[in-house]
Amino acid sequence: MIVFIDETGVEDFSDPSFPIFGRGGVGVLGSRYRTLGKSWRRLKRNYLGGATKPFHAVDFEHSRPSLRQIHAINDFVAGPFSRFAVMASKETARPDGVDGHLAVSLMVRNFVIKLIEQNEVTGLELVFGASTRGNSLAERDFQFPSGALVNSKGRVIDYDGSFMPKSTMEPGLEIADLIAHTAVRQERRR
């Protein structure tokens, strides 16, 4: 299984106009990732300005998207893959010693554990959007360079993590960006 994860906000909630930190992402079985990538590139080609154009959800939002574009994205995200978003604010209750980054990471980890249990996963790769500020925190919270989780049958699942710049235009990372941005936008409205 491959899980792409993108973050949004500042983990110490220091931005006074936006004191929220979160992550969003997508999980897909490795055998299905190629199909997901093709579907994403088709969506970009037909509705988002071209398959070879980088997609950033914040730029898309500022472009004043048409209803046709919005419906196309909504149809895409209703597809057969797992998605998640986790948000925290400075008001989020956390135990002593648990910072905002770790709190969000623990919830992402819970989501990943559920995916492993539901899909009888034999291997896992976590792919994070590269961030100068966040890479070392993700390594801390997810125990890189490698770790292990246990599935529902008691089988140990080895996993590893990596960081990928958004400039690669990797479909899973662009989809994770879309999901994270959509969730944080809803949180702002709330």
Q: How confident is the model at residue 64 (pLDDT cuts 50, 70, 90)?
A: very high
Query: Tokens at residue 181, please?
Result: 């941005």
Give the pLDDT score at 156: 81
H/E element, 158: strand 156-164
Report whether 10 contacts 36 (CB < 8 A).
no
Q: What ranges do the domains of the chain cover?
A: 2-189
Q: Give the pLDDT of residue 145.
A: 60
pLDDT in tens, 153-190: 777 888 888 999 999 999 999 999 999 998 877 776 67
Mean pLDDT value across residues 132-136: 87
Q: What is the CATH number that goes with domain 2-189?
A: 3.30.420.10
pLDDT at site 144: 65
Match 């905002």 to its residue by tokens: 100
Both structure tokens of 170: 């990797």
Residue 55 has pLDDT above 80, yes or no: yes
* Better pLDDT: 168 or 133: 168
Cβ count near 68 (within 10 Å): 10
- Position 170 scores a pLDDT of 97
Nearest 10 degrees: Cα torsion 40, 43, 45, 46 = 170
Using an 8 Å Cβ cutoff, are 114 and 59 in contact? no
* 37-46: average pLDDT: 97
pLDDT tens for each residue of 93-112? 888 888 888 999 999 988 98
Q: Can you count the helices (H) and strands (E) in the chain?
A: 6, 6
d(CA 38, CA 67): 23
Greater confidence, 141 or 76?
A: 76
Supply the pLDDT for residue 90: 82
- Mean per-residue pLDDT, 31-55: 95
Residue type, 120: E
pLDDT exceeds 80 at position 146: no
